[in-house]
Amino acid sequence: MRVVLLNAPSAGTYGPLEKASGRYFPLGLGYIAAFLRRRGHEPFIIDPEAEGLSDDAVAARLSSLSPRLCGITSATPSFPSARRLAALAKRVLPDTPVVLGGVHASAVPERSLREAPEADLVAAGEGEETMAELAAALEGGTLSPGVLAGIRGTWYRDGEAVRAAPPRPFIEPLDSLPFPARDLVDLSLYRPHAHNRRGRRAATAVTSRGCPFRCIFCASKVVLGDRYRSHSAAYVAGELEEMARKFRVDQVIFNDDIFTFDRERDLAICDLMLKKGLKLQWFCFARVDTVSREVLKAMRRAGCYSIGFGVESGDPAMLKAMRKTVTLDRVREAVAMANELGFKTQCFFVFGAPGETRESVEKSIAFAVELKPALCFFNMMVPYPGTEAYEIVFGPGGPPSGGAGGPPSGGAGGPPMDRPAWEDWVAIGPRSTYKVPGLGPLETVVAEANRRFYYRPSQVLRMLRHASNLSEIIQLARGALALLVQILAWRHAGRNPPEA
């Protein structure tokens, strides 16, 4: 049967930084589509934002395809967009079940269904097998509550009640999955964030799922679990070869939480990339305690030009509060090695975890300057649903469904708070989601950190040294201009907070 998968638009939630933001092929939908195709179904992917489609154009596409099943994925800030698409699908295809998926619906499935009457059910967690079973069930009849009770991973309506089937086990081995169906959308529609644009044709890939670490702000394990699972080196090299040969990709952004978790696998991937003659330039994320000089050298030889480290804070007390089990000395060692080997290093910090103070913020800014990375990203902590931070900030069970303005009063450690509008849950968006007692607006904090890190001649020269061509310099300039506009917006928001 025909199944349509939609990617909820999200770029508008970035504010001024939208001009420097990227657009990425929805890998989750790509895997689901490939899995459905393997099971004999006919999947389609509609990405309204990337394709420049209006709601009327999406409606016309849905009407022409007449799918029997419709799935919509979203993160937390794009959940309102997912609701809009669900309502549109129901208007055009009133008899077609609409399924919500992705990290937000997986984190709060019952709440998502109660807040989105336009949708029929939620596929929580990994969606490949769940969507395939839903399609198979539809072939045999309808998705009644009795049928859905037997499809693991679903949350569904039964009259006024919302019920849950048993949770679905995680997919193993990951190599049993087909490569994502990248042929279903024109890959030229996608581009990395401005600071990562280097090749002529870029694409994303994920080579592992699950993270065993316990950072309080990370929502990754909501969908992918807390146990590391990975594709084999041979699978990864085969997928990269398909991307290079079939789709003419010359740059890859690896979106693994930790690409460098398994040393032997990393070395094998790099070796196979060289043996296959894959002249790809690539970026990945790493933890400072999972890299070595041997691994970094192999990555450089295989085309890795940039690496991102989650530093989070320059204050050991804040690292402990965030359950980030690394030391500042290990951070220094890893970043220094990567700098020495010529990587375009990127360091990521988070401001606003419980216990954050002006003193800890100052330590983080000073540490960022000391590390001398090519780029630094200072994020406001967002207590995403499904994370420990969500419970800490908003109290047991999370916030009530109401609340649609800017950041409410209160904060971490205080009484339960109303929820800001979902579209405000963006780490580098125009507004913070909550306030930390005694610290002041997080918007002002991140504005000051960016100003003090980037507005230095030595840092400008460092960034320019890592630019490989004129196009990359132009992209850096555009990103710098977007950041300046955002800094001014953050400072304005900090001086003029909305009413609680």
Tell me which of 15-19, 39-43, 119-123, 443-447 is least confident.
15-19
| pLDDT tens digits along 227-246 | 999 999 999 999 999 999 99
Q: What is the pLDDT, as a whole number, of residue 500?
A: 39
Distance CA 260, CA 211 (A): 12
The whole-number pLDDT of residue 12 equals 67
Residue 471 has what pLDDT? 76
Among 268-282, 384-398, 410-424, 476-490, the minimum mean pLDDT is found in 410-424
What would the pLDDT profile of 396-424 be if each residue is shown by its tens digit?
766 665 443 333 334 444 444 466 789 88
Task: Please give the average per-residue pLDDT across 127-144, as a whole number.
Answer: 95
Is this prediction's pTM over 0.75? yes
The least confident of 3-17, 54-68, 263-277, 402-416 is: 402-416
pLDDT higher than threshold 70 for residue 497: no
pLDDT average, residue stretch 53-63: 96
Q: Which residue has the higher pLDDT, 67 or 490?
A: 67
Give me the domains of the chain, ranges plus CATH numbers. 2-164 (3.40.50.280), 191-495 (3.80.30.20)
Q: With 80 as the cut, is the pLDDT of residue 443 above it?
A: yes
pLDDT at 404: 36
Strand partners, 2: 42
Average pLDDT, the chain: 90
Percent of the chain with pLDDT over 70: 91
* Lowest mean per-residue pLDDT among 264-268, 398-402, 409-413, 463-467: 409-413
Output the CA angle 51-2-136, nearest 5 degrees: 135
Q: How far is CA 113 from CA 145, 162, 288, 305, 412, in A?
A: 15, 8, 39, 43, 27
Average pLDDT over residues 256-284: 96
pLDDT at 22 over 80: no
Overall average pLDDT of the 265-274 stretch: 98
* Tens digits of residue pLDDT in 95-120: 999 999 999 999 999 999 999 999 99
Between 26 and 11, name the one with better pLDDT.
26
For residue 373, pLDDT beyond 90: yes
Q: What is the mean pLDDT of residues 347-358?
A: 94
pLDDT score, position 354: 87
Q: Above 60 in pLDDT, residue 83?
A: yes
The gap from C-alpha 264 to its chain's centroid, in whole angstroms, comes to 26
* pLDDT, tens digit (0-9, with 9 covering 90-100), for 295-317: 999 999 999 999 999 999 999 99
Give tens-digit pLDDT for 202-232.
999 999 999 999 999 999 888 999 999 999 9
pLDDT at 36: 98
Per-residue model confidence (pLDDT) at position 46: 98
**What confidence tier does 319 reach under pLDDT thresholds 50, 70, 90?**
very high
Report the largest interatomic distance among the alpha carbons of the chain, rounded to a whole angstrom: 67
